[in-house]
Amino acid sequence: MTIDENLLVLLLALLLDRIVGDPQWLWSQLPHPVAIFGEAISFADRKLNNASLKAARRRMNGVGAILALLLLAVVAGIVFNRFFAFFGPIGIVLETGLVAIFLAQKSLADHVLAVAAALRDEGIAGGRAAVSRIVGRDPETLDEPAVCRAAIESLAENFSDGVVAPALWYAVFGLPGLLAYKMLNTADSMIGHKSEKYIDFGWASARLDDLANWPAARLSILLIAAGAWLRRGTSACREAIRVAMRDGGLHRSPNSGRPEAAMAGALNVQLAGPRIYGGVVVAEPMINNAGRDVATSRDIEDGISVFHASCMVLAGLTFGLFLCFL
């Protein structure tokens, strides 16, 4: 496909995902593509990440595994692209549906909004249960403001790597780029952490994922700021950019802190700070330390509003670029 066709498909996919999201009836009948990626990653893990191997060998195996998986994803993208090309305009519709599967606008908003609804309807127990579905920290250690912060952080971080990054990789490299990015991002979530089992085998996946998400994390700052301007005014827009520039590097991730800091500034709340994963306290500095120290379910809802507006700006930007390349 040409760049203008990619942009047209991306625009349609953004709209489709915003309206339909991830239909559970479909994935109850068929395996989700990300689940297929996960099976391939798990197979490589079982075969190549043997605890009896030396650390250097496990690291080399991890490098080889992720490169092979990325090659597999690129080849799959090329095959799908050429297959869809046989069908002309119908192929554009088919590719739109495939691209929409790898975007996370509606599903992300639904999961985060469920946290606010659970807090309101079921109290702290419901909020903890709902937030445990989208974050990895120990839910029983969270009070209500911490549950709200966790939901907002997940919203901002996943806006970058669940919406902006796949859109960017597809716009530039088409289906091969999109599938390679999703394979890499899935690998990072499965094996890219610093546990004893994966610190060596997952090293390459984690480093490559950091590199792949670098542009989208910075673009997300501008999109969140634009969404804040549309929903909350000029001051919120300015604060989103100011806090992102000042505090975006405080996060342990080179990328996640950028959209989180932008959202913290847009909502005038503190985010991040110390938290507990697997019974271990992870000490991190507070993002937007001058913001409100008590987040509420209303902040989650305001964050969703900014998120929707940011997604709308992304779609508008895609449409503008499409017109430029016509």
What is the structure's pLDDT at 276? 65
What is the structure's pLDDT at 26? 82
Report whether 243 contacts 105 (CB < 8 A): no
Token pair, residue 319, equals 């449409």
Report whether 132 contacts 139 (CB < 8 A): yes
User: In 10 A of CB 7, how many CB atoms?
Assistant: 23
What is the structure's pLDDT at 281? 63
Distance, CA of 206 to CA of 195 (rounded, Å): 12
Report whether 151 contacts 134 (CB < 8 A): yes
Distance, CA of 24 to CA of 254 (rounded, Å): 33
Q: What is the mean pLDDT of each run of 10 residues along the chain (326 residues)?
A: 90 96 84 94 96 94 98 97 93 96 96 96 94 84 92 97 97 97 97 91 97 98 98 98 95 92 98 72 84 95 98 97 91
What is the structure's pLDDT at 251? 87
What is the structure's pLDDT at 189? 94
Report whether 181 contacts 213 (CB < 8 A): no
Distance, CA of 91 to CA of 83 (rounded, Å): 8
Distance, CA of 321 to CA of 278 (rounded, Å): 44
CA separation, residue 325 to residues 2, 3, 55, 134, 167 (Å): 10, 7, 49, 38, 17
Token pair, residue 237, equals 């827009």
DSSP 289-302: TTSBS---HHHHHH
DSSP 146-195: HHHHHHHHHHHHHHIIIIIHHHHHHHHHHHHHHHHHHHHHHHHHHH-S-S
What is the structure's pLDDT at 244? 97
Distance, CA of 8 to CA of 4 (rounded, Å): 6
Q: Please report the beta strands in 180-321, taking only residues with DSSP state E, as ranges in sequence order.
A: 271-272, 275-277, 280-282, 286-287
Distance, CA of 203 to CA of 22 (rounded, Å): 31
Query: What is the per-residue burial (b if ≥16 Cβ within 10 Å, else e) of 189-215?
Result: bbbbeeeeebbbbbbbbbebbbebbeb
Residue entry with tokens 């700006």: 313
Task: Specify the amino acid at residue 156.
Answer: A
Strand, helix or coil for residue 287: strand
DSSP 103-128: --HHHHHHHHHHHHHHHHHHHHHHHH
Distance of CA 51 to the CA centre of its chain: 30
Report whether 213 contacts 255 (CB < 8 A): yes
Domain spans in the chain, listed from the N-terminal domain onward: 3-325
